[in-house]
Amino acid sequence: MELTPVAVIRHNVGPIDGLFLFDTLALIMLIQKNIPIAQYTTFKIGGPARYFCAVKNEDDLLEAVKFSKEKKLPILVIGGGSNLLVADSGFNGMVIRNEIKGKDWKEGNDGIVTVTAGAGEDWEGLVKESVDRGLYGLEGLSSIPGTVGASPVQNIGAYGVDVSHAIKSVRAFDTTALGFVSLSNEDCGFTYRDSMFKHEKGRYIISAVTYELSKNGKVSVEYKDLKDYFAKKGNSQPTLKDVREAVIEIRKNKLPDWTDWGTAGSFFKNPVVSAQKFTELKKLYPELPGFTEQDGHVKLSLGWILDKLCNAKGLTIGNVGTYEKQALVVVAKPGATAQEVLDFSNELMRRVKDKTGIEIEGEVEWAVA
Ligand SMILES: Cc1cc2nc3c(=O)[nH]c(=O)nc-3n(C[C@H](O)[C@H](O)[C@H](O)COP(=O)(O)OP(=O)(O)OC[C@H]3O[C@@H](n4cnc5c(N)ncnc54)[C@H](O)[C@@H]3O)c2cc1C
């Protein structure tokens, strides 16, 4: 395995006053060959990247794209690798790890505060800081692993809140037009666990995201788990901090610790069906939970379907299984392969189709080239 750099990119920038040594080092980017990607993902699975580099600023990003274009390499951008399943054969292209940091907080009128965060910032760190500053908007999304740059990609969400409600704009490098663009919330085409970035796969590399938060917001505790949590605590007026703590505690009891397990959280999206299909299913399974959306469609609880109808909670085949406390979460033992995870997920898909007629969709990104 070759671990030495194949390219050392030095940006064409002179030394900066008084910061010569530090900044000279910071302006160097290494491009390496045959780097195992598993170590950069929470599944801890996947073969090597043919080329790999970590970008710390937009200049690095440009150089990495230039290098890839010259060599005609497909590009895979990764953040925390917490929503990825990388093929056992690895990625026969360039893997760019986004490590662009920085947060810029700006106070506007009427208690509105915007924060622009570098794509490589830790998501949980941003949520914590926003709550510490008394800002409403992200508290329900506490404890989700990963980076800021990936938050718009699958429009991360939990406990009835999606990040799209807080995203003002996204700054990204457009690898087709070869320039940086600013995309509005509308441009991003957000829907449930989905956005334009998933459909124009590989076209945009996000370098920063701007969120709009509020000093005068209201906490949302409509979601059943949160309602139950506060009812049990006898807390009828939870504060911003209370909601963040509740979400962290609920998640801790429901989800595996990804530092111990190989996992990417929920492996599938909850299916959304027509009202008619929901009625048909309710006749067969009267206890099936469903949440009616604004457009009349009904979002089903796939965790319930896998558990109650497919007998899949805690199911294990070889090195791969569903988590004992939440059937929607696939977990892998050390040594598991991507193929085993795929085979297992196909088995779950088959069981759901047999019981409900529904073809479920993956939430985790399959990375192969
Ligand atoms: C235990 C656990 C719990 C989880 N819970 C939730 C949850 O409650 N809600 C939820 O929505 N998700 C959840 N996830 C999934 C995951 O944490 C999120 O999807 C997260 O946003 C992924 O961030 P990342 O930086 O790890 O992205 P990666 O896994 O590195 O990448 C995910 C996708 O985004 C793309 N991408 C990443 N960075 C960029 C960038 N800068 N520019 C362009 N594309 C980019 C990648 O190419 C890939 O397609 C969970 C995962 C785990 C392991």
pLDDT averaged over every residue in the chain? 92
The total of structural domains in the chain comes to: 3
The predicted-structure confidence for 288-330, as pLDDT tens digits, reads as follows 999 998 899 999 999 999 999 999 999 999 999 999 999 999 9
pTM for the structure as a whole: 0.91
- Do 84 and 134 lie in one domain? The reply is no
Supply the residue whose CA is at minimum distance from atom 28 of ligand 1. Answer: 81
Atom of ligand 1 nearest to the CA of 141: 8
- Compute CA 6 distance to the chain's CA centroid, rounded to the nearest angstrom: 30
In 131-233 the beta strands, taken as DSSP E runs, fall at 157-158, 161-162, 167-174, 179-184, 204-214
User: Using a 6 Å CB cutoff, which residues line ligand 1?
Assistant: 42, 76-84, 98, 119, 144-147, 149-151, 153-154, 156-158, 197, 204-206, 255, 258, 263-265, 365
CA dist., res. 170 & res. 281, Å (int):
40
- Do 317 and 332 lie in one domain? The reply is yes
CA dist., res. 103 & res. 155, Å (int):
20
Choose, from 139, 340, 363, 365, the residue flagged as catalytic.
363
Q: Is the pLDDT of residue 85 over 50?
A: yes
- Residue 193 is a catalytic residue: yes
The predicted-structure confidence for 334-349, as pLDDT tens digits, reads as follows 999 999 999 999 999 9
Q: What's the CATH code of the domain at 283?
A: 3.90.78.10
| Residue 265 structural domain | 256-353
* Residue 245 belongs to some domain of the structure: no
pLDDT value, residue 20:
35
Choose, from 97, 193, 244, 351, the residue flagged as catalytic.
193
- Do 107 and 209 lie in one domain? The reply is yes
- Do 63 and 127 lie in one domain? The reply is no
Can you tell me the mean pLDDT for 225-246?
94
pLDDT value, residue 220:
85
Q: Is the pLDDT of residue 199 over 70?
A: yes
* Residue 267 belongs to some domain of the structure: yes
- Do 115 and 188 lie in one domain? The reply is yes
* Residue 88 belongs to some domain of the structure: yes
pLDDT value, residue 94:
96
- Helices 240-254 and 123-132 meet at what angle, rounded to 10? 150
By CB atoms closer than 10 A (0-12, 13-18, 19+), residue 287 is exposed
The predicted-structure confidence for 28-80, as pLDDT tens digits, reads as follows 788 999 999 999 999 999 999 999 999 999 999 999 999 999 999 999 999 99
Report helix, strand or coil for 169.
Answer: strand
